[in-house]
Amino acid sequence: MSSILSSSQFGKDFKWGVAISAAQNEGAYLTDGRGLSVWDTFSKRNGKIKDSSKPSVSVDFYHRYKDDLMLVKALGFTVFRFSISWSRILPDGMGRVNKEGIAFYHKLIDECLKLELTPVITLYHWDLPQALEKEGGWTSHQLLKWFSRFVTVCCDEFGPKVKYWIVLNEPMGFTSLGYGIGKHAPGKTGLNNFFAAVHNAVLAQAEGGRLVKKIVKHAHVGTAFSCSEVFPKTNDDADIKAANLTDILLNRLFIEPSLGRGYPHDGFALMDKLNVYTKSWKYTDRMQFNFDFIGLQNYFALTVKHNPIIPYIGISEVTAKSRKVPHTDMGWEINPQSFYRMIKRFWHYGGVKELWITEGGACFKDELKNGIVDDARRTAYFQQYLQAALKAKQEGVNLGAYLAWTLTDNFEWAEGYKTRFGLVHVDFKTQLRTVKNSGYWWRDFLSK
């Protein structure tokens, strides 16, 4: 394989794009009839967001989408992935449809098409309407009914214009962080909440896929999973067992039910809580769906050790910083070879038609100096990870897309605004956009 990287090596049909999400970018949180999301409520609780910020304005994509799409075009991308705010479409989660919200996404999609950008819709990217959270949110037995209503409205409205759909973004992320440890919205904790949310998300990703296929003619439907290669700190049995359980939770918990294998177990008593659902409700068939593509989002490799102090799970992370290995400014290990191995692993499951990298990127402490953001570490990150992706593709993996995370700096969940992933720097006081050197690198890379 040539050491000189160019986009043409991936083939003429390979899709190159950037991704954003509604909750992190749109702002305009009470504009034109939008209802509150769980993140609007969660961010008002003291101590939940590191810089005490809120997503109320964010980067104001709602009003600046035309300018931001021009940046997407100028950087050479041809695909734009965005999510739909559930509470902008259905302010109460169910019931009345907000015409102004529908109109906004039609304008956004039309602008994409005008610029010859392929729109990719993510149906759920972590921003449940607060009205539904009051009724139990992702732990409620009503969740599937609520979600089906939302998906149906979106497909009826936008299906004639949009071919590519992603059902859920990182279900392990919003179930574990939002309903397990309470670090993210809505801030719930406990294994019962976590496993109820997991089961509903597994059902929702399959039912959502079925609905999109039923309603949208010629739809290409996927869903997006986070994944991390997991290593034990030592070869002790306790550490190996901790790594295996972590692997089940991070990498196997959502894809295996979708492939018809049911929930992974491997002798871990903890997983009995999920198997209770499938045995008593006979939901295994309903959890399965034959996706057109599976999205992978690999931000770090993970090393863990057994920790008997941690209740139930008994696992703790061994940080990349403590191990003195390359890492981002969020402490996430940089390991392109691990990324390569995860691509190959998911492909070797069998039953996966195509893989997309639906997000890929890195956070560093960017500084704007004299109108320039020299983020050489981010550029190096993309070069290394794209080389790894190309290697997997050349070895036979049907890899169809790479979508960079993210276009502009934005609201990074519980990290607030100090954590920057963008190819474009944003001054959050003035909303001034400045293309970073990594963005210019992408422009040059995509022109080759």
What is the extent of the structural domain holding 386? Answer: 7-446
Interval 355-408: pLDDT, tens: 999 999 999 999 999 999 999 999 999 999 999 999 999 999 999 999 999 999
What pLDDT was estimated at residue 274? 84
Q: Does residue 1 fall inside a structural domain? A: no
Residue 135 lies in a domain: yes
User: Does residue 2 form part of some domain?
Assistant: no
CATH number at residue 232: 3.20.20.80
Determine contact, residues 248/165, Cβ cutoff 8 Å.
no
- Residues linked to residue 120 through DSSP beta bridges, in sequence order: 81, 164
Cα 254 from Cα 46, distance rounded (Å)? 32
For position 282, what pLDDT does the model report? 58
Whether 135 is a known active-site residue: answer no
What integer pLDDT is reported at residue 13 of this predicted model?
A: 97
Q: Are 255 and 171 in contact (CB under 8 A)?
A: no
Query: Vertex 207, ends 202 and 208: CA angle to 5°?
Result: 95
Q: Is residue 413 part of a domain?
A: yes
Q: What pLDDT, on a 0 to 100 scale, did the predictor assign at position 311?
A: 86
Pairing of strands 293-297, 230-232: unpaired
Determine, yes or no, domain membership for 370: yes
Let me know how many helices (H) and strands (E) the chain has, helices first. Answer: 16, 13
Select which of 133, 333, 359, 412 is catalytic.
359
CA pair distance 332, 300, nearest whole angstrom? 5
For the chain, which residues score pLDDT lower than 50? 1-2, 280
Structure token pair of residue 397: 């993996």
pLDDT at residue 279, rounded to an integer: 63
Closest CA to 50 of 410, 321, 419: 419
Does residue 395 form part of some domain?
yes
Of 133, 170, 256, 412, the catalytic one is 170
Known catalytic residue at 116 = no
The CA-atom distances, in angstroms, between 357 and each of 80, 227, 349, 354, 425 are: 13, 11, 16, 10, 23
Cα–chain center distance at 70: 23
108 and 62 in contact (C-beta within 8 Å)?
no
pLDDT per residue as tens digits for the range 160-216: 999 999 999 999 999 999 999 999 999 999 999 999 999 999 999 999 999 999 999
CB hemisphere CA count around 236 (13 angstroms): 9
Measured between alpha carbons, how far is residue 358 from residues 56, 120, 290, 333, 361 in Å?
26, 10, 18, 19, 10
| DSSP secondary structure of 131-188 | HHHTTTGGGSTTHHHHHHHHHHHHHHHHTTT--EEEEEE-HHHHHHHHHTB-SSTT--
Crossing angle of the two packed helices 191-215 and 272-281, in degrees rounded to 10: 50
pLDDT in the model for residue 136? 98
- What domain count does the chain have? 1
E strand spans, 256-398: 293-297, 302-306, 315-317, 355-359
- Token pair 């509903």: residue: 200
